[in-house]
A and B are shown apart, each in its own frame.
Chain A
Amino acid sequence: MKIVKKNLNYIIIGSVAFIMMILGIVGLPLSITELLEKIAIAIILAVSLNMVVGFLGELSLGHAGFMCIGAYMGGKLAALLSSSLGGTNILTVILALIVGGLCAGICGFIVGLPALRLRGDYLAIVTLAFGEIVKNIVENSDFFGGQTGLKSPQFIKNRFILFTIGFLVVLLTIFVIQNIIKSKHGRAITAIRDNEIAAKATGINVTKYKLMGFVVSAVFAGLAGALYSFTCSNIQAITFDYNYSIEILVIVVLGGMTVNGSIISATLITALNTILQTKLGGSFAVAKDLIYALILILVVIYKNAPALKDFREKYNLGNLWRKIFKHKNDPSTVRDDATRWDVVPTKISMDEVLSTEIIVDNTGDNSADIGERGGNK
């Protein structure tokens, strides 16, 4: 029983994927297979971004940039292999996934190494810049098709194979990230999130672990991109803009910055988005954005406003759950690695003060401990 409970998320996702695959062999309408692919991609992106935001406590605003690299690298490889292996051959897909993931991971390393040495919002700024750079380079390079976009082989026949592969990658993502978090490496990562200074004093190589978390996250974003490249015949750089990164971030935040929360919110939001868009169409699609924005603001204020703290503690779902199921609050069942996002101390603390002076740095100490800069928390 305990094993089932521990691995519930794998079991649910695995069984859903299996049922869908059976249905897919029988024949599913294209709209549903497309939706399933979208959901798979969203889950991979959300779970991998949660590694950075939820567990590492850093903010990344360029997750779509890594996905872009994965999509273009994977898509280009598939296009090159289409003459020899066949563009939608399973081997091609696997190779494209590997190449896409690796390239994104390497870029993650290059971007993360300098940015993660600094405390504060630097990662957010650098990833933001990185996302724009990637988009700009890709849409102007002839190798990747330039402004017209990259032609990549699309699954048309046997479309169910694609979402099956997608869900296998989803399972892999959850498996890897969950296992990292539930190990000594994950403990080091969450320790850095909770208190970086104490983590250093406890002998944790902060840069190494931050980089580890960031690169893993980038690799999976690359995988998601490579998967995406098979869902469409033409990859457009504009897809991977800043707003897309933000969308993933919103999914993660609404999911409560846990692995399972990210999965649920990725599924729900993607499904809702797609269904509303196709069913309502036109003018209502605009209203959808408005509602989405309002919900986002209200949820965040409700969950975080210091003034509403008492109210939240009195009336929350957890209490209701406990009341209904007479569930005792036994200390041994306390979930550790609590990643409640209202407690995650994301470091918006470059903490420069407003000044009108032009500062000449003549302090003369060469220690230049840029790793230590940051504000008093």
Chain B
Amino acid sequence: MAKLFDKIKSFVDKKILKNTHKRENIQSDFVLETRGLGISFGGLKAAQNVNLRIKKNEIYGLIGPNGAGKTTVFNLLTGVYQPTEGAFYLNGEDLTALPQDKINHKGIARTFQNIRLFNNMTVIRNVMVGLANQPEYNCSLFESIFRLPRHFKVEKAMRQRAKEILRIFDLEDERNNLACNLPYGKQRKLEIARALATNPKLLLLDEPAAGMNPNETEDLVNTIKTIRDNFDMTILLIEHDMKFVSGLCDEITVLNFGTVLAEGDTKTALNNPDVIKAYIGG
């Protein structure tokens, strides 16, 4: 059944969705490498020739004025949009034009600019949804329906692991609340927790500090650093708050009108005259 399903799906992908990108893996020392990544909507080039190189355990910032194409790059990297040019590689493996869930399985997880939680589910279940795809929690529909021992074993293990993840974010006490009842800051954290639960190699954070007060922001900086150290994680984030970026990121890329304006280590890139011009104008 599953095989038939895959066959039909790949047929639909090829014939109806016209998904013709040929994937070729490359040798790469970087966790994420993009080569000439770009997309155009009709005539509008939303992102163009984006070349990111992100090393392991790095916190990498993607900054730029409003409408610069930052979120578009995220959408390309997570398969929401299919790039019209270029390709991207995770540890050398070409993931271009894969469906969103496959990209997530390969190891890219993300959060959203406007929080997208599973609002009518409890906090712990939100995280457990993220855990479900890992091979160690595998459990077929049949086993679940007929409540075979495997089901209980897997459920228990998932609950345990979810609690551990929530503990890192100080959310363990809230685990039985509905996600929509959490305060804003905790919702942001829960979203990161859910992304982490999918066991990614690269974590994409879309404006994680948006709408937070200075205290919460500082707390977030620490949390992100903890995530990197504890989970051996590489993080790519979008942010507007320059203080936040310069305090956290090792390297940054500055985008403007869909093209790369400057890149390199945080200080040099931020002092680049083009960047200052783009932000301040003139």
Contacts and interface: CB of A to CB of B under 8 A. Distances in A.
- A and B from one complex: yes
Interface string A194-207: 11011111111111
Contact of A367 (B12, B78, B81): B81
A187 B151 contact: no
Interface stretch (B23-31, B55-63, B130-138, B262-270): B130-138
Interface string A329-367: 001101011111001100000000000000000111111
A190 interface: yes
Given A183-B155, A185-B144, A204 B101 contact: yes
Contacts, number: 148
Given A187-B128, A187-B129, A191-B118, A179 B82 contact: no
Size category of the binding interface on chain B: 35 or more
A273 to B, nearest CB: 31
A198 B116 contact: yes
B193 to A, nearest CB: 11
Interface string B118-143: 11111001101110110001010100
A344 B112 CA distance: 21
Nearest to A343: B120
A371 B126 CA distance: 23
Q: What is the interface of chain A mostly: helix, strand, loop, or mixed?
A: helix
B101 A200 contact: yes
B167 interface: no
B18 interface: yes
Contact of A195 (B9, B41, B116): B116
A338 B109 CA distance: 26
A338 B120 contact: yes
Given A201-B80, A202-B194, 9 more contacts: A191-B118, A191-B121, A198-B117, A200-B80, A201-B109, A334-B178, A336-B125, A338-B178, A362-B42
Interface of B: 5, 8-9, 12, 16-18, 39-43, 78, 80-82, 84, 99-101, 104-105, 109-110, 112, 116-122, 125-126, 128-130, 132-133, 137, 139, 141, 144-147, 151, 154-155, 158, 176-178, 194-195, 198
Interface of A: 113, 117, 175-176, 179-180, 183-188, 190-191, 193-195, 197-208, 211-212, 331-332, 334, 336-340, 343-344, 362-370, 372
